[in-house]
């Protein structure tokens, strides 16, 4: 006998494999800025499903990626920061300046050591991915320090110092990739 039972909508196919950004936020119990920061740190990107059930203008994430983010220790740190910010706001609203200052001094922090070790298990892996940050350093080194664009002069000076150190290193080791990067930055800016 052949069964004529219809499958319930949303239980098979694309509906099970993908979720919208708002659904991911609800699952992770995060706000949007925290979710974006976590996705950048963990390297999770939106996906394009074949059929978009919730609408064309929605951002979709793979359900496995969201489940991967659910077990991240950084989630607890983000939640602790949110709770701490709420305590500080409450103290300021009650005009407890001393209590608010004490709370701000005790702000929870987190480290990204485990995340860096996860992304770059060996030193060679870290060196292979060093091109993009060095290009950004060279770009900041040639930018003008303007208050209008919120570019701090200290940051530009530090970038110039790092770029000079990197140029000196490439001259000593006679490597070519830095020279190509410098020419690319000059072509972009001029």
Q: Is the pLDDT of residue 26 over 90?
A: yes
Give the burial class of 124: count Cβ atoms within 10 A of its Cβ; 0-12 exposed, 13-18 middle, 19 or more buried: exposed
Residue 139 DSSP class: H
Cα 43 to Cα 35, 75, 96, 116: the distances in Å are 12, 15, 41, 12
Domains of the chain by residue range? 14-72, 130-189
Kindly state the tokens that stand for 175. Answer: 């490597």
Kindly state the tokens that stand for 89. Answer: 């706001």
98-107 tens-digit pLDDT? 888 898 899 9
Residue 62 DSSP class: E
3 state DSSP class of 110: coil
Q: Is the pLDDT of residue 117 over 60?
A: yes
pTM over 0.75: no
Confidence band (pLDDT; 50, 70, 90) for 188?
A: low
Q: Name which residue leads in pLDDT, 1 or 62.
A: 62
Which pLDDT value is given to residue 148? 74
Q: How far apart are CA 89 and CA 94, in angstroms?
A: 9
* Average of per-residue pLDDT across 172-187: 60
CB atoms within 10 A of CB 44: 19
Torsion over CA of 36, 37, 43 and 45, rounded to 10 degrees?
Answer: 10
């Amino acid at each position: 006998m052949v069964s004529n039972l219809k499958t319930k909508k949303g239980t098979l196919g694309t509906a099970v494999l993908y979720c919208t950004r708002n659904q991911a936020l609800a699952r992770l119990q995060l706000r949007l800025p925290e979710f974006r920061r976590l996705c950048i740190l963990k390297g999770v990107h939106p996906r394009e499903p074949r059929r978009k059930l919730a609408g064309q203008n929605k951002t979709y994430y793979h359900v496995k990626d969201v489940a991967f983010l659910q077990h991240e220790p950084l989630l607890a740190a983000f939640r602790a920061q949110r709770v701490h910010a709420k305590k500080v706001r409450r103290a300021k609203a009650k005009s407890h300046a001393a209590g608010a200052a004490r709370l701000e001094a005790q702000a929870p922090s987190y480290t990204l050591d485990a995340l860096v070790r996860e992304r770059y298990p060996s030193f060679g892996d870290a060196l292979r991915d060093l091109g993009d940050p060095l290009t950004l350093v060279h770009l900041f080194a040639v930018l003008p320090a303007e208050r209008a664009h919120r570019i701090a002069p200290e940051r530009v000076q530090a970038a110039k110092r790092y770029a000079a150190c990197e140029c000196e290193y490439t001259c000593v080791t006679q490597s070519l990739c830095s020279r190509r990067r410098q020419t690319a930055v000059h072509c972009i800016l001029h």
